[in-house]
Structure 1
């Protein structure tokens, strides 16, 4: 069995506690590796190393152009190791190899993009209203950044935080999910190969109470960037606020996928399937509320079921598999519990609705692709994030009704509209309360496009030029070029 180590100050090392914990393969249910159980001592070592690298090490002396060159080298190394890293992620989180391999092959683009942006961060001169002064601004790294990442796409969602942080000149300590830490620990080896100085990138694995809290509360940490549940995000944000630390939060979603009667129904069916059954529904942008115009409801559901019934569960490493297992035992139970809740609330199961027991599921934590009709928007299944392959179908009358239902939820991460009417597409995109709105597509993301949520779905934005600003702080510099103070007791 493989035993991993923490990565601190450019070296792999055992946890101070001398303790490890097991990680399981969601497809087989078997333990395949041991993950180091970090604690407050390891956190302090990692943060101290990051702080030294930020303030006194070679990283602090590098020009932005030099930092960008290292990032581009890191991107090259990721491309070389994409297959190996994807295989580790599949073994650890059970998502399809096709999905994870695609993510890992795309991952270098984040480091190329932000590596190129590193020396484009510019201050400006200020047109002052006072004579005898010259003033300008400069943008400096916010400090040591803690990145707390989830179990569904560990390295992709790490890159969304890490790449802009490095471009800004920050140093980083990562706490990956205790369920999927292996790929992040393997990823850390690439930093030395790329030539990054020790301490720029550190990984401390373990549990929230032992590692996460210590990282958030460490006095040398300036910013916390978190992706995960809104419940955990609230706790982290409250702790950070008391300590006046910067935060960015990418939290949950309950995204509406809205199909109008004039839509291309074949494409809309594929979009609905992609929105909820891709990644086994374990994505914050899952289109878990399918809003279908009443005039086409029955026809659309019929077409949807024809496609959904053909979805193949099984080994996520197989090219034929379309739906993999749920990643963790607690999440597996949670999804099944929500299915029971929906049945008790009066929703009608038209597909699935139980544990996957087909031979190809083996001993894995599978939930059958599940579709409910007759869902009201006030049901828990329509208001709470399930994070699994469970779709709620809600009918609507017209555009106004669709908007009312779509926005009647506390989340606002993503939404989609299926229509051939360009005017309707624009109107809906303006009025939907979501950080991302897709029209006639779903699950499209890019390193160039800002991503984040409205309402309870989070704070701040990741990706795009806008993301790097979250890792910078602005300094104003005043230079006296000849102004004479007439009264030293009065503000200049």
Structure 2
């Protein structure tokens, strides 16, 4: 364990300089047993001022500003190399800090390295646009960096989320100030050290731990920050959107979800049972795209739910670093208690807990932030447990009669982030996918991601799209240039 934490700084990373933060410290815990892993210094608001100054100077330096895209790509490749070289340590560190299983954290670290490589490749192949002229002139559209980007990351998958914000922002030529989640700053600081050691010019990255209401707010409000990208809760996202509107500043928001998973009567039952369980109970349900509402055709409802409950009861609950664990602890005891309150509310609303619904009775898990994977039936779709994001291992099961009834219920939500369909009929799947109000639809799979495929939500699940080739454009400003070809382009002046 010591070698995992020896390389993790407890200082803030301020534009290329490691320094002691002067804000209140945070005790970072291991959610598997509640022990303190490390005490981390937090930033204060004047650190944001300095990070903006350093970031502005670094991205304005001609050496970076005028660097050809393929040369900028080399920095991203070096970062990817460093992440891959240190992948084992990063995965273990994230498992300690977030409680996630090592299987998942290994995947997240690999995703982070792949994200830096992908955007390096995009830089290698990025073209500016020669637009179609409508007169005797030549027209071009070019992309330029915005400036200093404020990146506010979530606690549920820090290393992958960090990479998805840092990589395209740097690729576009910007500087980045990353604010990690208060509960999970360790991986972000470890990543900052790797990026620093990879040779990225000083000033282009700052990592400032601290409370969102203090450091996050200061980043968003700072006049020198040109764009903010935020992943987190819808309530906070709405507040940040108001601030961005006052500044006339672009903002990207990946917010909450209450994603419907749909099992049609012709689905492969065994495949769907496993897929539904994975969609909600992997990551201990702490995922914005978790399939937390399950709609099952009433003709197969009872048999399907019986098999799903049996599968859920068989899932192995334990520490994330145990190889056999399928459902790890939640990120924090406070999050575990919030989930428990939602289950109690569901009982009050008339729901029946089919399995789970409590903390494990195993004495070996007593000190951890564990909650058993839970399935609830007997609620209507307007119950709070069906409408509000619980962000935990809680699945609500609802029957449906026909497609019209299904679509009405599935879309009856303020959210629209993701959805899943299980069926043997590709034509039905296509027609239904087009009717669902969601940014992503999975068919006969769930929670599969690709950095090359755009990701975003509709309704109160967010604004803007991340990932994909256009991911760099989201961190750029577009400028049009006209080249006049006439000898007398403006005869009015004659």
Q: TM-score range by the shorter chain?
A: over 0.9
Q: Name the CA shift for 1:220/1:119 in 2 (closer, same or farther; >3 Å).
A: farther
Give 1:451's aligned residue. 455
C-alpha separation in 2, matches of 1:209 and 1:255: 28
1:416 pairs, out of 394, 415, 420, with 420
Deviates more, 1:201-210 or 1:133-142: 133-142
Asked whether the equivalents of residues 414 and 460 of structure 2 are also in contact (C-alpha less than 8 Å), the reply is: yes
- Map 1:52-131 onto structure 2 (within 5 A): 52-56=57-61, 58-131=63-136
Q: Secondary structure at the match of 1:249?
A: strand
Asked whether the equivalents of residues 285 and 413 of structure 1 are also in contact (C-alpha less than 8 Å), the reply is: yes
C-alpha separation in 1, matches of 2:112 and 2:358: 35
Q: Spell out, residue by residue over 1:451-485, the C-alpha distance to the aligned partner (whole angstroms, 9 max, x if none).
A: 11011100111111122221111111123443353
Give 1:375's aligned residue. 379
Give 2:25's aligned residue. 20
Asked whether the equivalents of residues 313 and 323 of structure 1 are also in contact (C-alpha less than 8 Å), the reply is: yes
- Map 1:33-48 onto structure 2 (within 5 A): 33-48=38-53
C-alpha separation in 2, matches of 1:441 and 1:339: 27
Q: Give the CA deviation at 1:488.
A: 4.2
C-alpha separation in 2, matches of 1:483 and 1:338: 72
Give 2:173's aligned residue. 169
Q: Give the CA deviation at 1:57.
A: 5.8
Asked whether the equivalents of residues 53 and 199 of structure 1 are also in contact (C-alpha less than 8 Å), the reply is: yes
Asked whether the equivalents of residues 332 and 366 of structure 1 are also in contact (C-alpha less than 8 Å), the reply is: yes
Q: Spell out, residue by residue over 1:78-108, the C-alpha distance to the aligned partner (whole angstroms, 9 max, x if none).
A: 1111111111111111111111012112321
Q: Which runs of 5+ in 1 are unaligned?
A: none
Q: Name the CA shift for 1:126/1:417 in 2 (closer, same or farther; >3 Å).
A: closer
2:193 pairs, out of 189, 199, 210, with 189
Asked whether the equivalents of residues 78 and 107 of structure 1 are also in contact (C-alpha less than 8 Å), the reply is: yes
Q: Spell out, residue by residue over 1:232-266, the C-alpha distance to the aligned partner (whole angstroms, 9 max, x if none).
A: 00011111110111100000000000001110000
Q: Spell out, residue by residue over 1:353-393, the C-alpha distance to the aligned partner (whole angstroms, 9 max, x if none).
A: 11223123140011111110112101001000000000100
Give 2:263's aligned residue. 259
C-alpha separation in 1, matches of 2:326 and 2:489: 74
C-alpha separation in 2, matches of 1:418 and 1:148: 34
Give 1:220's aligned residue. 224
- Map 1:245-394 onto structure 2 (within 5 A): 245-394=249-398
| 1:429 partnered with 2:433 | yes
Asked whether the equivalents of residues 266 and 425 of structure 2 are also in contact (C-alpha less than 8 Å), the reply is: yes
Deviates more, 1:42-51 or 1:266-275: 42-51
C-alpha separation in 2, matches of 1:162 and 1:109: 13
Q: TM-score, normalised by structure 2?
A: 0.96
Deviates more, 1:2-11 or 1:74-83: 2-11
Give 1:244's aligned residue. 248
C-alpha separation in 1, matches of 2:56 and 2:36: 35
Asked whether the equivalents of residues 360 and 366 of structure 2 are also in contact (C-alpha less than 8 Å), the reply is: no
C-alpha separation in 2, matches of 1:293 and 1:123: 49
C-alpha separation in 1, matches of 2:336 and 2:132: 59
1:11 pairs, out of 3, 6, 17, with 17
Deviates more, 1:252-261 or 1:37-46: 37-46
Q: Secondary structure at the match of 2:139?
A: strand
Asked whether the equivalents of residues 112 and 164 of structure 2 are also in contact (C-alpha less than 8 Å), the reply is: no
C-alpha separation in 2, matches of 1:189 and 1:373: 47
Q: TM-score, normalised by structure 1?
A: 0.96
Q: Spell out, residue by residue over 1:165-199, the C-alpha distance to the aligned partner (whole angstroms, 9 max, x if none).
A: 12211111100100000110011111232221001
Asked whether the equivalents of residues 32 and 367 of structure 2 are also in contact (C-alpha less than 8 Å), the reply is: yes
Q: Spell out, residue by residue over 1:29-53, the C-alpha distance to the aligned partner (whole angstroms, 9 max, x if none).
A: 1111111121111111111111111
Asked whether the equivalents of residues 59 and 200 of structure 1 are also in contact (C-alpha less than 8 Å), the reply is: no
1:150 pairs, out of 147, 154, 158, with 154
Q: Which runs of 5+ in 2 are unaligned?
A: none
Q: Secondary structure at the match of 1:15?
A: coil
C-alpha separation in 2, matches of 1:88 and 1:57: 37
C-alpha separation in 1, matches of 2:123 and 2:374: 45
Q: Spell out, residue by residue over 1:416-469, the C-alpha distance to the aligned partner (whole angstroms, 9 max, x if none).
A: 000001110110111111000000001100111111101110011111112222
C-alpha separation in 1, matches of 2:340 and 2:228: 32
| 1:486 partnered with 2:494 | no
Q: Spell out, residue by residue over 1:177-228, the C-alpha distance to the aligned partner (whole angstroms, 9 max, x if none).
A: 0000011001111123222100111101100122011100111110000000
Q: Name the CA shift for 1:261/1:127 in 2 (closer, same or farther; >3 Å).
A: closer
Q: Give the CA deviation at 1:128.
A: 3.1
